[in-house]
Structure 1
């Protein structure tokens, strides 16, 4: 018999409450305590997105992207192609910082279908255009 499992990404931060509110607003979700771990908050989105934010007093924000090495773990948030500009404005209004990746000397064009950001605690995420039609 297979044991039922559920997984989700957990991001560390020195102050989890504002970071949890940021992602709840960005994902149109809600923030709830995890129950078992008082340092963990859970974000549940309208489409079942699950994300955890955990208190880590010694958290050091990652440095991404760096052209000399590979990407670190990062969250991809999918939006309809026609809503990408609006999603970017929303993310920035909530406190996200745009990141320009450099690859082989050329800068990433902000008009592309994948736009890179740092959340208020320095974690990388991408807003990506995704056509959900069959």
Structure 2
């Protein structure tokens, strides 16, 4: 018998409530504080489930600079027709566009950093969302 499993991506940061609200608004989900006050979960429809954890010694990743690893990367999938609007929403909520220096012309995946410095991509689906 196989045990039913699920997974949750946990992002570390200095202010988990603020970052959880950023992702909750961006993903149309809810931020939920559990029994552990330094861990906030973001849960919503369409399989959204991630957690934000306070790290008192947090230092943001420096990726795409080569001296440090990326640490984690969230990929948010949208319909191609919604890509520009999704980018506007992310920036309005506090995301910062990033560049790896390899992009050229129109592209179907856009790289950002969240307010705590984690990288994430908004990308066009190859299937219907």
Classify the secondary structure of the residue corresponding to 1:57: coil
Unaligned residue ranges in structure 1 (runs of 5+) = none
Q: Which residue of 1 aligns with 2:73?
A: 74
CA contact (8 A) 2:33 2:40 kept: yes
Q: What CA deviation, in whole Å up to 9, does each residue of 1:22-58 have, x standing for no partner? A: 00000000011233x3211110122121010001111
Aligned residue-pair number: 129
Task: Please give the residue correspondences for 1:95-110 in structure 2 after superposition, counting only pairs within 5 Å.
Answer: 95-102=94-101, 107-109=102-104
d(CA) in 2 for partners of 1:30, 1:70: 30
RMSD (CA atoms):
2.0
TM-score by length of structure 1 reads: 0.87
d(CA) in 2 for partners of 1:60, 1:67: 16
Q: Which residue of 2 aligns with 1:123?
A: 118
Unaligned residue ranges in structure 2 (runs of 5+) = none
CA contact (8 A) 2:110 2:122 kept: yes
Q: What CA deviation, in whole Å up to 9, does each residue of 1:81-130 have, x standing for no partner? A: 0100000000000000000112xxxx414630000000000000000000
CA contact (8 A) 2:41 2:50 kept: yes
Task: Please give the residue correspondences for 1:43-62 in structure 2 after superposition, counting only pairs within 5 Å.
Answer: 43-62=42-61
Classify the secondary structure of the residue corresponding to 1:101: coil
How many angstroms does 1:4 deviate by?
A: 2.7
TM-score by length of structure 2 reads: 0.90
